[in-house]
């Protein structure tokens, strides 16, 4: 589509459907919620708490089925389905995507252009199928947890770009907000991206913005939740209490747990487990990037980078190469990159 | 501490392995390695000087490298292009590959 100068461009959206969280951006809004889905059943009684935040009580009907989506799954569902590679093109994966797009939508009917991503290991094999699944008209109904208050959205995806997910971080760093190439040095360089998600770690190698497929991969046993799983076992062994990985974060922030009324410091266990996990990640990365010394930069990003980034930097021990994405940007860096690329594609 | 050595990549193979195999302080090797990597990445012309070498992280020693000479032919072969000098047209082409449908 050709845009004349001064004319508003088409509506663009950037959505990063991770295995842990969905992150979605429009020009003026951002939202994120856990990538979990379950079958819907009306909630008979609600206290009204959190009613102001639609993301916290997200329920939808998509392709003839009703779902709880995101945070509400943890409170109301008996069983849940987490995101995995097979689910991107299935109704539950698309329900996650279009719930996010509906929440970002300013109107009941909207035509939009979408930039999104796939895990590295699925990119080559699934990008065309995924693109076809996303393009076209989609109807999604957002409902209240008690089943009332339906609002139907008619979303038309007119065009779509799909990237290997960590490429979003590369574009976030080489493009400015208008989608112009500003960091030419990084763009021209030989760059490795270590994207630490909640359930997976994606590694991408890029040379002069060319994706190096043979040195890019995804690992489903190295994510942040795997580190939490190790912590769970350590804490259970020592204190005989069970803290599910999904609820681990607040204890880690405080560095203590309360057992039988006594505070127990878990900082030492945390450091030991995280250092060991970081070593596993780095070992896998260096196995994939045998000539890592040739990389101009190794960018450590993703939601897990905020927790494990410092440990990984220490393990890599390459201070001249490692760039740790700021904590407050790491979770959204792929989605930010998609949005910048979208502006370059559709708004220049 | 002064170190003077001459690299011969044809004889010694991979630069990094060769440096790692240097006898003595591993921190020393780290410092030289960092300087060389930087030098190669910035398209150096064959010589490293004292000021090119910074503080070593592992041992905390500063290595003064007095004119490390890279063999001419190998130096140019090993030198990676300075990213800023990379053809912008090529970058735009690579970007177009991502922005195209």
B27 vs B1: CA distance, rounded Å: 13
The beta-carbon neighbor of A341 closest among B33, B34, B99 is: B99
A102 vs A8: CA distance, rounded Å: 21
Instruction: Show which of A145, A164, A183 is a domain's final residue.
Output: A164
Whether the CB of B74 is below 8 Å from some CB of chain A: the reply is: no
Query: Strand A151-164's sheet: what is its strand order?
Result: A30-34, A21-25, A11-17, A109-118, A151-164, A136-143, A58-62, A65-69, A36-39, A81-82
Task: State pLDDT tens for residues A254-298.
Answer: 888 988 888 999 999 999 999 999 999 999 999 999 999 899 999
Q: How far is A35 from chain B (nearest CA, A)?
A: 26
Residue A4 is assigned to a structural domain of this protein: no
Reduced to 3 states (helix: H, G, I; strand: E, B; else coil), residue A301 is: strand
What is the pLDDT, as a whole number, of residue B69? 43
Q: How many residues does chain A have?
A: 348
Whether the CB of A82 is below 8 Å from some CB of chain B: the reply is: no
Residues A15 and A158 in one domain: yes
The beta-carbon neighbor of B83 closest among A171, A294, A296 is: A296
Residues A119 and A182 in one domain: no
Residue A302 is assigned to a structural domain of this protein: yes
Residue A186 is assigned to a structural domain of this protein: yes
Residue A6 is assigned to a structural domain of this protein: no
Residue contacts between A and B (CB atoms, under 8 Å): 56
Residues A143 and A185 in one domain: no
CB contact under 8 A, B101 and A296: no
pLDDT at A218 over 70: yes
Residues A190 and A324 in one domain: yes
Higher pLDDT, A343 or B84: A343
The beta-carbon neighbor of A188 closest among B16, B37, B86 is: B86
Residue A248 is assigned to a structural domain of this protein: yes
Per run of 10 residues, the mean pLDDT along chain B (length 101 residues) is: 49 54 53 59 48 38 40 39 62 85 61
Instruction: Show which of A164, A184, A211 is a domain's final residue.
Output: A164
Higher pLDDT, A140 or A79: A140
Whether the CB of A167 is below 8 Å from some CB of chain B: the reply is: yes
Residues A140 and A256 in one domain: no
pLDDT at A152 over 80: yes
Q: How many domains does chain A have?
A: 2
pLDDT tier, A100 (very low <50, low <70, confident <90, very high otherwise): very high
What tokens appear for A184 in the block?
């030419």
CB contact under 8 A, B98 and A167: yes
Residues A125 and A259 in one domain: no
Task: State pLDDT tens for residues A290-338.
Answer: 999 899 999 999 999 989 999 999 999 888 899 999 888 899 999 999 9
In chain A, the residue whose alpha carbon lies closest to the alpha carbon of B84 is: A185
Residues A172 and A296 in one domain: yes
Residues A159 and A185 in one domain: no
pTM exceeding the 0.80 threshold for the entire prediction: no
Reduced to 3 states (helix: H, G, I; strand: E, B; else coil), residue B27 is: helix
Residue A2 is assigned to a structural domain of this protein: no
A174 vs A176: CA distance, rounded Å: 7
Can you give the CATH number for the domain in which A247 is found? 3.30.420.40
CB contact under 8 A, B94 and A159: no
Q: Report whether B61 contacts B75 (CB < 8 A).
A: no
Residues A153 and A250 in one domain: no
Residue A1 is assigned to a structural domain of this protein: no
Whether the CB of A161 is below 8 Å from some CB of chain B: the reply is: yes
Q: Which of A55, A66, A71 is nearest to A20 (CA)?
A: A71
pLDDT tier, A99 (very low <50, low <70, confident <90, very high otherwise): very high
Q: Which domain holds residue A31?
A: 11-164
What is the pLDDT, as a whole number, of residue A28? 92
Average pLDDT value for residue range A104-108 = 91
Indicate the helix (H) or strand (E) that contains A297.
strand A297-301
Residues A333 and A225 in one domain: yes
First-to-last alpha carbon distance for chain A, in angstroms, is: 10
What tokens appear for A80 in the block?
């849940």
The beta-carbon neighbor of B91 closest among A188, A294, A341 is: A188
A246 vs A259: CA distance, rounded Å: 19
ipTM for this model: 0.75
Q: Which of A131, A319, A304 is nearest to B34 (CA)?
A: A319
Q: Report whether A259 contacts A236 (CB < 8 A).
A: no
Residues A270 and A141 in one domain: no
Alpha helices in A54-203 (DSSP H): 71-76, 91-104, 120-134, 167-174, 184-188
Whether the CB of A91 is below 8 Å from some CB of chain B: the reply is: no
In chain B, the residue whose alpha carbon lies closest to the alpha carbon of A181 is: B92
Mean pLDDT of chain A, nearest integer: 90
Residues A103 and A189 in one domain: no
pLDDT tier, A48 (very low <50, low <70, confident <90, very high otherwise): low
Q: How far is A150 from chain B (nearest CA, A)?
A: 35
CB contact under 8 A, A188 and B84: yes
Residue A210 is assigned to a structural domain of this protein: yes
In chain B, the residue whose alpha carbon lies closest to the alpha carbon of A339 is: B99
Chain-centroid distance, C-alpha A202: 11
What is the pLDDT, as a whole number, of residue B88? 76
Average pLDDT value for residue range A216-221 = 92
Instruction: Show which of A164, A195, A213 is a domain's final residue.
Output: A164
pLDDT at A242 over 80: yes
Higher pLDDT, A99 or A262: A99
Task: State pLDDT tens for residues A183-215.
Answer: 999 999 999 999 999 889 999 999 999 999 999
Distances (CA, A) of A119 to A19, A48, A183: 9, 37, 25
Of A56-65, A146-155, A282-291, B3-12, the one with minimum mean pLDDT is: B3-12
C-alpha angle with apex A228: A222 to A230, nearest 5 degrees?
80
């Amino acid at each position: 589509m050709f845009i004349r100068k001064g004319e508003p461009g088409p509506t663009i959206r950037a959505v990063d459907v991770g295995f842990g969280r969905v992150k979605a951006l429009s020009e003026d809004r951002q939202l994120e919620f856990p990538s979990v889905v379950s079958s819907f059943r009306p909630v008979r009684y609600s206290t009204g708490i959190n009613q102001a935040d639609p993301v916290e009580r997200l329920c939808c009907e998509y392709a003839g089925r009703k779902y709880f989506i995101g945070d509400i799954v943890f409170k109301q569902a008996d069983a849940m389905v987490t995101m995995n590679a097979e689910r991107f093109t299935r109704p539950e994966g698309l329900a996650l995507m279009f719930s996010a797009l509906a929440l970002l939508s300013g109107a009941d009917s909207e035509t939009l252009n979408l930039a999104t991503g796939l895990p590295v290991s699925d990119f080559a094999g699934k990008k065309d199928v995924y693109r076809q699944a996303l393009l076209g008209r989609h109807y999604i109904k957002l409902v209240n947890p008690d089943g009332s208050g339906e609002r139907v959205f008619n979303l038309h995806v007119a065009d779509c770009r799909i990237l290997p997910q960590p490429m979003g971080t590369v574009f976030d760093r080489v493009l400015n907000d208008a989608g112009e190439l500003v960091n030419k040095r990084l763009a021209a360089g030989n760059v490795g991206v270590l994207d630490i998600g909640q359930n997976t770690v994606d590694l991408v190698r890029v040379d002069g913005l060319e994706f190096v497929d043979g040195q890019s991969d995804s690992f489903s046993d190295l994510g942040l939740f795997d580190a939490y799983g190790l912590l769970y076992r350590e804490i259970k062994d020592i204190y005989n209490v069970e803290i599910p990985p999904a609820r681990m974060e607040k204890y880690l922030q405080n560095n203590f747990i309360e057992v039988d009324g006594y505070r127990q410091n878990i900082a030492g266990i945390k450091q030991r487990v995280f250092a060991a996990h970081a070593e596993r990640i780095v070992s896998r990365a260096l196995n994939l990037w045998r000539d890592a010394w040739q990389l101009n930069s190794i960018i450590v990003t993703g939601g897990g980078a905020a927790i494990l980034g410092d440990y990984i930097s220490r393990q890599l021990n390459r201070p001249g190469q490692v760039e740790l994405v700021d904590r407050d940007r790491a979770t959204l860096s792929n989605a930010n990159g998609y949005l910048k690329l979208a502006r370059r594609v559709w708004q220049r | 501490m002064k170190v003077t050595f001459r690299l011969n990549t044809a004889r010694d193979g991979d630069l990094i392995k060769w440096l790692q195999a240097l006898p003595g302080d591993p921190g020393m090797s780290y410092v030289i390695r960092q300087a060389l990597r930087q030098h190669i990445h910035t398209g150096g012309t064959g010589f490293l000087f004292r000021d090119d070498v910074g503080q070593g992280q592992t041992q905390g020693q500063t290595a003064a490298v007095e004119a490390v000479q890279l063999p001419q032919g190998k130096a140019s072969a090993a030198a990676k292009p300075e990213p800023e000098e990379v053809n912008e047209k090529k970058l735009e082409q690579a970007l177009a590959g991502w922005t195209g449908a």
